Amino acid sequence: MAGVDANLMREYEAYKDASKEELDEYLSKLPPSKRQAYLDYAAKMEAKKAAKEEKKKKESQGQLGCLIVVLVFAAVIGITAYFQENEDKKEAPAPPKAVEQQQSKSESKSAAAVVSPESDSDSKNDDAKLKEMKKMEVARWSESTNSQLKAVDEGFKNIWNMLLASISDGNKDKAKTRQNIEDFAKKLDEIKESLKNQKFSEHLTSDERDKLKEANEGYIEWIDKRKDATEELKDLAGSDIPPEKLKQIEEALKKSDEQLFKTKSAVEEFQKGLGY
């Protein structure tokens, strides 16, 4: 469909048969503009579907009318022939049991051959839809956590530079520097709580949810290292800071960054397993 966002089409296909609770949960996480775009697109698709069903219904009614006429005509011919040949008609012998059983088995196999492909197709469609819903949930989680980690990294760099600038300026703004550091420490606690309390849907298996929780725990450990360094900077604000102390803090942060890289690598491997 030209002019329509491919992501919007995929998300509609993934959620068009979802329950009301699942759809409401998904829509609540979208920005207002994207939520309205989804609703508009869904309305168009439902209208198109209704038009197709109405057309199909009319065609079926026309075909049914023709069939009734043919059946009535055939019945008239059959009744006439019956009365004409009734006196000469003899009772046909019953087919042997073995033949009946063989016909029954053949009919059963034929019925199974008709039903099986459709059932298999439905199963494949359900699997594809579930996989797409998993990918979207993990993508939203990844986008959210990466945004939080970026906020932590940039926030720490700001207070680090602010502390160095305060020292260069003779600690004239040490009170303001300490306040900014304390505010940042509170922000770290909020992000940690958000990661600890994060919930995942039942679309993911127990193992898949455990993988994401394990990644969140790795991110929390990294944030804790930033929190420890933040507390040390707050204690140093307004005083002379030995260069070796700053170097010690930097070394600790470097090690935590290495651990963060391992956690992110594990997440990338997990996403590849979902088809990214």
The tens digit of pLDDT for each residue in 194-211 reads 999 999 998 899 999 999
Q: Per-residue pLDDT tens for 113-136?
A: 444 556 677 777 888 888 889 989
Q: What percent of the chain has pLDDT over 70?
A: 74
Domain that holds residue 33: 1-88
Cβ(176)–Cβ(228) under 8 Å?
Answer: no
Q: Looking at the structure, do residues 77 and 15 belong to the same domain, yes or no?
A: yes
Backbone conformation region of residue 132, classed left if phi is above 0, alpha if psi is from -120 to 50, else beta: alpha
What is the reported pLDDT for 46? 80
Residues 84, 10: one domain?
A: yes
Asked whether the whole model's pTM tops 0.75, one would answer: no
Token pair recorded at residue 275:
């088809």
Task: Report how far residue 276's alpha carbon sits from residue 182's, in angstroms, rounded to the nearest whole number.
Answer: 40
Query: Do 190 and 75 fall into the same domain?
Result: no
Rounded to whole angstroms, the Cα distance separating 101 from 107 reads 10
**Pair 138, 201 in one domain:** yes
The reply to whether 72 and 137 lie within a common domain is no
What pLDDT score was predicted for residue 242? 79
Together in a domain, 79 and 205: no
> pLDDT value at position 119?
65
- 150 and 255 in a single domain? The answer is yes
Looking at the structure, tell me whether residues 187 and 78 fall in a common domain. no
* Residue carrying structure tokens 């690598």: 265
Instruction: Give buried/exposed letters for 104-119 (b at 16+ CB in 10 A, else e).
Output: eeeeeeeeeeeeeeee
What confidence tens digit (pLDDT) does each residue in 260-270 have? 999 999 999 99
Domain end position, chosen among 35, 55, 88: 88
Each residue's pLDDT tens digit, 27-78:
777 777 777 887 887 778 887 887 787 787 777 666 655 555 445 454 445 5
As a whole number, mean pLDDT of residues 209-224 equals: 95
Enter the tokens of residue 43: 């309305």
Q: Between these two residues, 272 and 17, which has the higher pLDDT value?
A: 272
**Domain annotation covers residue 190:** yes
- Degrees (nearest 5) of the Cα angle 186, 187, 191? 120
If DSSP codes are grouped into helix, strand and coil, which group holds residue 205?
coil
Q: Are residues 247 and 134 in the same domain?
A: yes
Q: Are residues 168 and 70 in the same domain?
A: no
Q: What is the number of structural domains in the chain?
A: 2
Q: Taking residues 151-177, what's their average pLDDT?
A: 84
Q: Structure tokens of 152? A: 């932590």
Q: Are 82 and 187 within one domain?
A: no
In 3-state terms the chain splits into helix, strand, coil percentages (rounded to 5) of 85, 0, 15
Whether residue 118 lies inside any domain: the answer is no
9 domain residue, yes or no: yes
Q: Which two tokens stand for residue 33?
A: 């503009």
Is residue 74 located within the same domain as residue 141? Answer: no
- pLDDT-derived band at 180, boundaries 50, 70, 90: very high
Of 35, 69, 88, the position where a domain reaches its end is: 88
* Contact in structure between 33 and 44 (CB atoms under 8 Å): no
In the prediction, which pLDDT does 227 show? Answer: 94
Give the residue from 164, 169, 144, 181 showing the smallest Cα distance to 30.
Answer: 144
pLDDT, residue 109, reads 52
